Structure 1
């Protein structure tokens, strides 16, 4: 192609930006300052047609003629693409459905919305022929979702496991390196700006669960929502848990784990869960520190893949948003369409209780003969096999550290509950799942 870039129906691609916070302001800045580059990359000029914010008078840094408080009207105006960076479910869902039904493509970073309403959004996009892109919804700037739904579309993915929340990874990494407890480390994360004023979505695992739902849906061609994802946060992780992991050559991470599970009869299902785990320090995810994200993918043909980088922040997330915007523009220029939702497998989502896991269990027990035999009998009664046992005597008590083989999570939990009732067990000190070991 020579001369000036092609336009969309003889004009520039007009973009409506909903939300102008940390990420939105960076998107607006880059679209304005690098307009010529975006035109060259996209094959058409990309024009910022309007910016919807809650209070236009609070944004003197933006051109006043672009600002509006009426997001619904902006969506319905003469724009080609809606970039949504507001977050939340309502009224955001209605704005995006309105855009898609009118044939306007959507780029969004809204993980919570996608984790519950991807099906509605995808169906609206299919009906009108519009595109729906959401690379920025998981792991910031890391190219992850596009490889899952495009590059690996011809492969069979068996597992996706990763660190997808920078706040919790910062806290657990700091606890590991300093030996400090959870509460004081959370305070430090807040002081440094790694934790929100209300960190609930991060530390209780809601953020990671939304991302796990998106990952599982793409990886296994099955509709998985956040409510399908088993979720546990990190508030219960103690300095003692971190220390116990160190003694065993492990570290503690909050992981999103999505697996294709095959039953004994050959039936396949999907497991999606978020919880703290102990992993060996030799594992690729163990060395991911600070607020970084990393996702480990296993596929039949491709083998083991690792995606690593900045998982949040204005510039990294804006990079993913703008990458999607360029893809939408290219599709518009050539008359093509982006990838559609792939939910053809329709696999059952397996409850956590039926999911095979391994446990690390630390017990304070009476220091007398026969204790280990009684504890082992409970494991046997629940058909849970013990992989290793470590014992340490201290005064009138002893410490038992038990690591199990794979068993259904419900059986493991029932085992722990019954052990806690034994007269010889003074305390179940800690229970944590173990990953990354054969």
Structure 2
């Protein structure tokens, strides 16, 4: 009888995701041999605090504070990076690839900015660098795009990439909360960090859009290429107006492959309440893709958390194990064979929802309409619903307009004495 094959791995980090990976590997032990044709053994875990980490594992001898215990161990064939941050994670990953080890990561910050360099190192060494967990947590999306949907020219992707902001907007929509109250609830429930900037300002979603757009359009998109805008200015009043219009407000990541270049952006949008993404609530994520052959397809599930993210990490580990057994590591690496320009945000076209407080007197609406018209902004709809003494609240819905023309109009309107306040400007999908 052939000797049972054991693939040994090392892990960098034992935080939330690392602990999840440890748990999932344990739960899969009995099924690994029939499922993979080999067993996976976690040999070493790099940590900052040995005593704290030792309490989380069955065998404390596997924890170490010395990276060389992993990098220089010829038995370790796969390294799992779940420590987060750019450094020293970047140097560790490159060192492991150059040492002939395959690497799996959940590090969206790193992949979004340095993916090209790391994938080049993987190719140079004939090794796998897999990063399914870096986008949308437990939802399979990178592998489907690179493999299952490879027969498509994907023209557009859009999605809800951040569970924290989706939870906040859901509470604002369903319970009438203001942003600050919904954020505090998200923090109390563990959905939001003490410093929620990366989530509520759209930075986390922007990194995921960069990674997924690179895979979908076969052209490198970095985080710096993605226009980001958060949800901090969204109010309960905006949510109510959206409902009256048959829409829902979501923080959406949108990327398009156009003849003029790739659009990549993250910002709040009004989306028709009948759209599949409008029904994605609480901390769930979803990605909606359009391809020339498949047409529309949507992926939905938990976008973060200890076990959902660990599910994606361990899925990548299993993929690498199969490649090792069949001697085909590195078979799917960087797929960015195109070099498309990135479209400047000012050239991107959007429809807009604008809410403003104006003087309640004859001629004001005509003046507002004139400013829009003089700046190539066409008005699709104008509503006046609330009057508060001297001022009236109006809502304008524009037709599709280049962002630079819209911004020109807003700058002029913002300086007019008859306009007390421009309360909200939100794009409309």
Fold-level similarity (TM above 0.5): yes
Structure 1 73/237 Cα, relative in aligned 2: closer, same or farther at 3 Å?
Answer: same
3-state secondary structure, aligned to 1:348: coil
Task: Kindly indicate whether residue 297 of structure 2 is the aligned counterpart of residue 305 of structure 1.
Answer: yes
Cross-structure match for 2:264: 272
Deviations 1:211-259 (A, max 9, x none): 0110111111111111111111111112222122122121211111111
Matched, 1:427 2:424: no
Q: Residues 31 and 38 of structure 1 are in contact (CA less than 8 Å); yes or no, is this contact kept in structure 2? A: no
* Aligned match of 2:31: 37
The secondary structure found in structure 2 opposite 1:282 is coil
Equivalent-residue separation in structure 2 for 1:379 and 1:164 (angstroms):
33
Question: What is the number of residues matched between the two proteins?
Answer: 424
* 1:292 paired residue number: 284
Partner of 2:398: 404
TM-score (norm 2): 0.95
Separation in 1, partners of 2:224, 2:328: 34
User: Could you tell me which residue of structure 1 aligns to residue 312 of structure 2?
Assistant: 320
Q: Which runs of 5+ in 1 are unaligned?
A: 263-267
1:149 match: secondary structure: helix
Partner residue in 2 for 1:64:
60
After TM superposition, give the deviation of residue 70 of structure 1 in Å: 1.4
Match of 1:355 in 2: 348
Kept in 2, the 8 Å contact 1:5–1:45? The answer is no
TM superposition shift of 1:130: 0.2
Extract unaligned runs of 5+ from structure 2.
none
| 1:33 Cα offset (Å) | 4.0
Q: Give how far 1:421 is off.
A: 2.1
**Aligned-partner SS, 2:311:** helix
Residue 89 of structure 1 corresponds to 86
- Structure 2 match to 1:125: 122
Is 1:75–2:74 an aligned residue pair? no
Distance 2:88 2:154 in 1: 35
Contact 1:20 1:53 in 2 (8 A): yes
Q: 1:211 to 1:393 in 2, by over 3 A?
A: closer
Matched with 1:142 is: 139
Shift in CA distance, 5/215, structure 1 to aligned 2, threshold 3 Å:
farther
Aligned CA distance change for structure 1 residues 244 and 393 (closer, same or farther; 3 Å): closer
Moved more, 109-118 or 53-62: 53-62
